[in-house]
């Protein structure tokens, strides 16, 4: 096994008197794909910054292999000092990196390179930051929420790009499908410590639940042991004094262990306030269309939404998802066609940009509307502080201004506000933004149990698969199509996801075709040159020898004491291993090229 490129050991860090990391560890080997998961506020981003060398721990050890290159994607990139996005991306290239990759990756991500960084949208800023870290092809890529503000086409493109790379990956994301598709190792950061699972995110939740069950059993055993010792203390102190003193000390140690135990952070409690049932027919749209200038956003679309449906609207940014949503809920009129809303509709809305949250308003004001200290949830009157606790807010935060909240806290506050509004139709525009995995679980359960109708816009494929009864997908040029089931069902029915390339290809297919050039005459079949034929015959033996060198050097470097006892030998072995791996890669590529050439010539 190859030695780790990066290793963190016994990392401790305290912020404002509260321990954040208390012995966290992280190891990343060449080509390893690690996902770092944990609750919001557990310290994932901080641990990643320590790994990237941007934050110094109070205590612990960080080791990075000599000459190993690291690139880190922050949640909030800093564009200061750059006049264009191309200039920003090029600044991240090293001396040995290919200059063309900056413009190439910007183009792949839908940017021209001449954009002013000061006026970029959230999605554009995220794409420019991705281009900057992807262009150099480093040994380790550290990505903090890479899918934030991205639409599905870019998420799917990014998945393919990362899957094809040889770089080691460390990912923080709340996108389950993204983590499942890319990770091979899961590191769970929980109450300041890390637990490692040598399997991808798909196996994480069952493993986590098993660990928590074992922990709960241990705490029950501890409580029983303390109870037994306390009984002895009250009624059984009759033996020798020395033994009694020791046993009393053991009891104090057990009590301290119980006091020091940090229980699992509570779960969000989600319960929607439901109004009386709507009519069976909720929305009926017939041949609706909408244009903005020369751009057709919706073209001749019809759909019927019934009570109990959960409808997902999906497509690239700019396709018109929010416009379609607003037409279906009667907020804007179509240019042509008609939208008929059912009877007794009570609509509660969670908007994408959290625009309904006034920055200076307090949490209590947002939830009560500024009237009193009570909210009505599920037909029951509740004190606002108790309701806030259901969403993991402390009582002290009742007077906190919205502007002081994190992205995840704002997301929870918007959910609390929407769910406290009596409704039989929930309209959720990007409800999963900034929510941690545990809160996503509960949101899914709440949507599944909701007796009314749900219409949502989301880029979260896993969330769509779990809750949707049917999805409405953008097909390009204002065309929309309904598919039964979730996102995966849609992919199975039409053969591809919501890729921008697919939409561009369909739009190109609609344009008049140009006269095709005459095909060139086929090249005559020939034979390999003597040099190529000799190389094809000798390369397998060379590859086998190089592989043996790589294995031998890897075993040498696997010795944990080599670096401390023989640093020169360690450095020499590292250089030889790097050269052997490069030579092996080159030999494999050359053999593959010659083998394909031979097959082509032989027909």
Annotated binding site for ATP: 38-45, 315-322
In angstroms, the CA 54 to CA 46 distance is 9
In angstroms, the CA 38 to CA 188 distance is 6
Which of 425, 599, 454, 435 lies closest to 528, judged by CA?
Answer: 599
* Residues whose CB is less than 8 angstroms from the CB of residue 595 and which lie 6 or more positions away in sequence, other chains included: 536
Q: Which residues are annotated as a binding site?
A: 38-45, 315-322
Strand segments, DSSP code E, in 5-163 are: 6-15, 18-28, 33-37, 59-64, 70-73, 140-144
β-pairing, 168-172 vs 140-144, is parallel
H helix and E strand count, the chain = 19, 20
* Residues whose CB is less than 8 angstroms from the CB of residue 53 and which lie 6 or more positions away in sequence, other chains included: 62, 64, 70
Give yes or no for a contact between 437 and 391, defined as CB atoms under 8 angstroms apart: no
Give yes or no for a contact between 458 and 152, defined as CB atoms under 8 angstroms apart: no
Write b or e for each residue in 312-348: b if 16 or more Cβ atoms lie within 10 A of its Cβ, otherwise e. Answer: bbbbbbebbbbbbbbbbbeeeebeebebebbeebbbb
How far the first Cα of the chain sits from its last, in Å, is 41
Q: In angstroms, how far apart are the furthest CA atoms of the chain?
A: 106
Half-sphere exposure (CA, 13 Å, Cβ side) for 92?
Answer: 27
Q: What one-character DSSP code corresponds to residue 304? A: E
Element (H, E) at 470: strand 470-476
Length of the chain: 603
């Amino acid at each position: 096994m190859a030695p780790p490129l990066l290793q963190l050991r016994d990392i401790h860090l305290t912020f404002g008197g509260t321990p954040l990391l208390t012995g966290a560890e992280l190891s990343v080997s060449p080509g390893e794909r690690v996902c770092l998961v944990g609750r919001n506020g557990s310290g994932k981003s901080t641990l990643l910054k320590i790994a990237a060398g941007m934050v110094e721990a109070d205590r612990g050890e960080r080791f990075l292999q000599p000459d190993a290159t690291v690139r880190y994607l922050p949640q909030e990139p800093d564009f200061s000092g750059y006049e264009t996005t191309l200039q920003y991306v090029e600044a991240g290239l090293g001396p040995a990196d290919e200059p063309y990759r900056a413009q190439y990756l910007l183009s792949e991500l839908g940017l021209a390179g001449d954009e002013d960084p000061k006026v970029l949208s959230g999605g554009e800023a995220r794409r420019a930051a991705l281009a900057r870290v992807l262009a150099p092809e480093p040994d380790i890529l550290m990505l903090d929420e890479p899918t934030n503000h991205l639409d599905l086409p870019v998420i799917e493109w990014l998945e393919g790009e990362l899957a094809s790379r040889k770089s080691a990956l460390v990912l923080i994301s709340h996108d389950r499908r993204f983590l499942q598709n890319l990770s091979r190792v899961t590191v769970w950061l929980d109450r300041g410590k890390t637990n490692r699972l040598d399997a991808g995110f798909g196996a994480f939740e069952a493993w986590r639940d098993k660990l928590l069950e074992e922990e709960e059993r241990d705490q029950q055993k501890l409580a029983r042991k303390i109870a037994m010792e306390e009984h002895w203390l009250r009624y059984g102190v009759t033996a020798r004094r020395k033994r009694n003193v020791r046993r009393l000390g053991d009891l104090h140690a057990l009590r301290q262990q119980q006091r020091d135990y940090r229980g699992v952070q509570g779960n969000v409690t989600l319960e929607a306030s439901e109004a009386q049932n709507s009519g069976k027919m909720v929305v009926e749209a017939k041949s609706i269309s909408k244009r903005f200038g020369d751009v057709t956003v919706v073209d001749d679309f019809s759909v019927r939404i019934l009570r109990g449906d959960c409808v997902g609207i999906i497509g690239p940014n700019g396709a018109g998802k929010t416009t379609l949503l607003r037409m279906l809920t009667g907020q804007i009129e179509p240019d042509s066609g008609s939208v008929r809303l059912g009877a007794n509709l009570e609509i509660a809305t969670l908007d994408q940009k959290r625009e309904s949250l006034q920055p200076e308003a307090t949490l209590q004001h947002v939830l009560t509307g500024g009237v009193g200290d009570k909210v009505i949830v599920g037909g029951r009157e509740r004190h606002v502080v108790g309701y806030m606790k259901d969403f993991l807010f402390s009582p002290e935060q009742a007077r906190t201004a919205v502007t002081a909240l994190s992205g995840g806290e704002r997301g929870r506050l918007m959910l609390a506000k929407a769910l406290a509004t009596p409704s039989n139709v929930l309209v959720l525009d990007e409800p999963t933004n900034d929510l941690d995995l545990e809160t996503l679980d509960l949101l899914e359960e709440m949507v599944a149990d909701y007796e009314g109708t749900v219409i949502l816009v989301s880029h979260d494929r896993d969330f769509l698969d779990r809750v949707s009864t049917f999805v409405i997908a953008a097909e390009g040029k204002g065309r929309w199509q309904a598919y039964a089931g979730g996102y995966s069902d849609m992919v199975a029915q039409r053969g591809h996801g919501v890729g921008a390339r697919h939409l561009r290809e369909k739009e190109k297919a609609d344009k008049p075709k140009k006269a095709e050039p005459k095909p060139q005459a086929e090249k005559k079949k020939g034979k390999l040159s003597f040099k190529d034929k000799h190389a094809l015959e000798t390369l397998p033996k060379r590859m086998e020898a190089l592989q043996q060198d790589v294995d031998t050097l890897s075993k040498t470097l696997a010795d944990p004491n080599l670096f401390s006892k023989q640093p020169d030998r360690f450095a020499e072995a590292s250089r030889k291993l790097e050269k052997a791996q490069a030579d092996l890669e080159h030999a494999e590529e050359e053999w593959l090229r010659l083998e394909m050439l031979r097959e082509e010539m032989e027909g």
